[in-house]
């Protein structure tokens, strides 16, 4: 359990470092909430943004040179599997939030498929508290829709909503709520708390035994496929049900061109729907599966090049509101098996910005401000993540990222902060990297080095 601590840079752990006044000077501020894209300095004092302006005087502040860098709100991830409690061999809140800090994230929404499942206020509060103890990112738990993710009985959403974890977002992620009546009741019930319901979009009857995208590649590889229809049928059902009861629906990890069309049509009709796409679905396609490398096995699966292009266009035009990582760590011994036995999931937190920057910004599809919007204001509009996602203005908590859009690096899974190694981008050269991350004015990442967890080691072995 001390792994998360061991890999942190001791230098960054000095308690006073980053606690005094800081001046982020000379950077390009990209603040989607205020629509700002210009060179501005940001003064940080006592954990808050003290001042934003041009050519601010350094005074007693420690100057952080941001020339050539982007100063943005800390990134917000709606979809993270932190694996604690229950699967700490793959990831825990400490290692997962270290990975988040390394990726420029200050807010992580921890999915509910833990063991025990995050289906009670007690577990939700535990997960959120672990985030506060380690102080590397704020952790916003996602509550399960149904007890034990079994798709039968609703969880006590009201109590989770009123708990200190303030859960306002519910998902059985990984498992669809297949029963239309249960799902409709979940949507109805959640409206009492203005909570968002997020359903893993997959018709399980259509995906029995599925191993990869159903298509030309699966046909040759002899792997049973997830047809794109399985996702689209479920999204269509969920949208119809959500519209009927006036509920808020969030569609996770959209992966097909058909899904995009369905969501676009629903938005045009005024359905209260938001949607996310993952960096891997925005950049990788099923041709890669020809290697049978289980790192590439994910649910929903990598689709076709045409799907990738449809997702990119949908992210650009706002049909898809945000980039969410679906960061899903798996220990090597469980992931490194025959393809059909390997679990689904990929790491994402430490490469998300780089992938978006390389694939979408550098290619000219997204301007930098829109790209940052999809990773900050976009997710922050879906659920309550407190003072994350901007705007960057005086008096607000200094949750910030300083990103280098020019930094070119080769992803090395062995050097990531996650406890697992299942990055599909291992060995790839990407451009763009977080340099500093600030959580309430404290460096969680400084000069590319992740700070130590604030938690005492003995508390880690809870």
Active site residues: 326
Query: Which listed residue (191, 334, 431, 449) binds another protein by CB under 8 A?
Result: 334
Q: How far apart are CA 249 and CA 260, in angstroms?
A: 15
> Where does this chain touch another protein (CB under 8 A) — which range of 12-20, 140-148, 186-194, 334-342?
334-342
Q: Identify which of residues 176 and 225 has a Cβ nearer to another protein in the complex.
A: 225
Query: Which listed residue (47, 185, 292, 407) binds another protein by CB under 8 A?
Result: 292
Contact 150, 119 (CB under 8 A): no
Count residues binding another protein (CB under 8 A).
26
Query: Which listed residue (291, 363, 406, 410) binds another protein by CB under 8 A?
Result: 291
Secondary structure (3-state) at 183: helix
Phi, then psi, of 375 in degrees rounded to 5: -110, 0
Q: Identify which of residues 245 and 344 has a Cβ nearer to another protein in the complex.
A: 344
Q: How far apart are CA 444 and CA 105, in angstroms?
A: 9
Q: Identify which of residues 294 and 405 has a Cβ nearer to another protein in the complex.
A: 294
Q: Identify which of residues 178 and 381 has a Cβ nearer to another protein in the complex.
A: 178
> Where does this chain touch another protein (CB under 8 A) — which range of 67-75, 176-184, 337-345, 380-388?
337-345
Query: Which listed residue (225, 258, 300, 405) binds another protein by CB under 8 A?
Result: 225
Q: Tokens for 412? A: 């090395």
Q: Any contact of residue 18 with another protein (CB under 8 A)?
A: no
- Residue 46 has, within 13 A of its CA and on its CB side, a CA count of 5
Q: For residue 115, how many other CB atoms are within 10 A of its CB? A: 12
Q: Any contact of residue 193 with another protein (CB under 8 A)?
A: no
Q: Tokens for 239? A: 């949208």
Residue 221: alpha-carbon gap to chain centroid: 31
Q: Which residues pair with 433 in a beta bridge?
A: 404
CA angle 340/281/33 to nearest 5° reads 145
Secondary structure (3-state) at 337: coil
Contact mark string toward another protein, 314..333, x via CB under 8 A: -------------------x
Listed residue (172, 75, 84) closest to 128, CA to CA: 84
Please report how close the Cβ of residue 237 comes to another protein at its closest, in angstroms: 21
Q: Identify which of residues 208 and 268 has a Cβ nearer to another protein in the complex.
A: 208
Query: Which listed residue (152, 340, 447, 459) binds another protein by CB under 8 A?
Result: 340
Please report how close the Cβ of residue 220 comes to another protein at its closest, in angstroms: 7
Please report how close the Cβ of residue 89 comes to another protein at its closest, in angstroms: 13
Q: In what order do the strands lie in the sheet with 75-80?
A: 75-80, 105-110, 138-141
Q: Any contact of residue 339 with another protein (CB under 8 A)?
A: yes
Q: For 318-437, where are the alpha helices, taking DSSP H only?
A: 332-335, 352-356, 368-375, 377-382
112 Rama sector, left if φ>0, alpha if ψ -120 to 50, beta otherwise: alpha
Please report how close the Cβ of residue 295 comes to another protein at its closest, in angstroms: 11
Q: Identify which of residues 289 and 452 has a Cβ nearer to another protein in the complex.
A: 289
Q: Identify which of residues 335 and 419 has a Cβ nearer to another protein in the complex.
A: 335
Which helix (H) or strand (E) segment holds residue 455: the answer is none
> Where does this chain touch another protein (CB under 8 A) — which range of 84-92, 123-131, 335-343, 349-357?
335-343
Q: How far apart are CA 189 and CA 68, in angstroms?
A: 49
Q: How far apart are CA 355 and CA 372, in angstroms?
A: 12
Q: How far apart are CA 78 and CA 94, in angstroms?
A: 18
> Where does this chain touch another protein (CB under 8 A) — which range of 63-71, 286-294, 313-321, 393-401?
286-294
Q: Any contact of residue 338 with another protein (CB under 8 A)?
A: yes
> Where does this chain touch another protein (CB under 8 A) — which range of 150-158, 224-232, 280-288, 414-422?
224-232
Q: Identify which of residues 130 and 330 has a Cβ nearer to another protein in the complex.
A: 330
Distances from the Cα of 98 to the Cα of 92, 105, 145, angstroms? 10, 9, 28
Q: How far apart are CA 139 and CA 118, in angstroms?
A: 13
Query: Which listed residue (159, 261, 336, 384) binds another protein by CB under 8 A?
Result: 336
Query: Which listed residue (2, 34, 337, 363) binds another protein by CB under 8 A?
Result: 337
149 Rama sector, left if φ>0, alpha if ψ -120 to 50, beta otherwise: left
| Footprint (CB under 8 A) of another protein, residues 204-223 | 208, 211, 214-216, 218-223
| Footprint (CB under 8 A) of another protein, residues 241-260 | none
Task: Provide the binding-site residues for another protein, judged by CB under 8 A.
Answer: 208, 211, 214-216, 218-225, 227, 291-294, 333-334, 336-341
């Amino acid at each position: 359990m001390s792994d998360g601590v061991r890999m942190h840079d001791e230098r960054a752990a000095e308690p006073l470092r980053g606690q005094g006044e800081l001046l982020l000077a000379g950077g390009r501020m990209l603040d989607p909430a205020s629509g700002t894209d210009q060179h501005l300095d940001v003064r940080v004092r006592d954990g808050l943004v003290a001042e934003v302006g041009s050519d601010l005087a350094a005074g007693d502040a420690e100057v952080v040179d941001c020339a050539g860098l982007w100063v943005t709100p800390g990134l917000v991830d709606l979809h993270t599997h932190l694996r604690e409690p229950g699967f700490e061999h793959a990831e825990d809140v400490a290692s997962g939030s270290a990975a988040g800090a390394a990726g420029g994230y200050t807010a992580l929404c921890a999915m509910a498929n833990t063991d025990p499942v995050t289906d009670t206020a007690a577990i939700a509060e535990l997960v959120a508290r672990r985030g506060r103890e380690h102080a590397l990112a704020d952790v916003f738990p996602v509550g399960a829709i149904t007890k034990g993710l079994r798709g039968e009985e609703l969880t006590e959403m009201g109590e989770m909503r009123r708990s200190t974890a303030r859960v306002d977002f519910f998902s059985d992620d990984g498992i669809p709520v297949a029963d239309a009546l249960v799902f409709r009741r979940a949507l109805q019930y959640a409206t009492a708390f203005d909570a968002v319901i997020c359903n893993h979009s997959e018709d399980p009857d259509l995906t029995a035994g599925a191993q990869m995208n159903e298509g030309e590649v699966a046909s040759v590889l002899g792997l049973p496929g997830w047809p794109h229809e399985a996702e689209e049928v479920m999204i269509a059902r969920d949208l119809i049900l959500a519209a009927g009861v006036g509920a808020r629906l969030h569609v996770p990890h959209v992966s097909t061109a058909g899904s995009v069309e369905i969501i676009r049509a629903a938005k045009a009709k005024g359905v209260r729907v938001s949607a996310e796409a993952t960096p891997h679905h925005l950049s990788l396609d099923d041709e890669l599966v020809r290697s049978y490398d289980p790192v590439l096995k994910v649910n929903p699966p990598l689709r076709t090049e045409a799907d990738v292009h449809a997702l990119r266009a949908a992210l650009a035009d706002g049909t898809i509101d945000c980039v969410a990582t679906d960061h899903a760590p798996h220990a090597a011994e469980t992931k490194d098996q025959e393809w059909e036995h390997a679990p689904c999931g990929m790491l994402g937190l430490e490469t998300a910005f780089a992938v978006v920057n390389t694939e979408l910004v550098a290619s000219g599809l997204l301007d930098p401000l829109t790209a940052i919007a999809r990773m900050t204001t976009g997710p922050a509009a879906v659920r309550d993540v407190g003072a994350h996602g901007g705007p960057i203005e005086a008096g607000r908590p200094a949750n910030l990222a300083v990103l280098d859009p020019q930094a070119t690096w080769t992803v090395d899974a062995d050097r990531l902060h996650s406890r697992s190694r299942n990055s599909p981008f291992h060995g790839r050269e990407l451009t763009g990297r977080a340099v500093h991350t600030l959580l309430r004015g404290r460096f969680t990442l400084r000069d590319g080095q992740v700070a130590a967890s604030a938690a005492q080691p003995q508390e880690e072995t809870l």
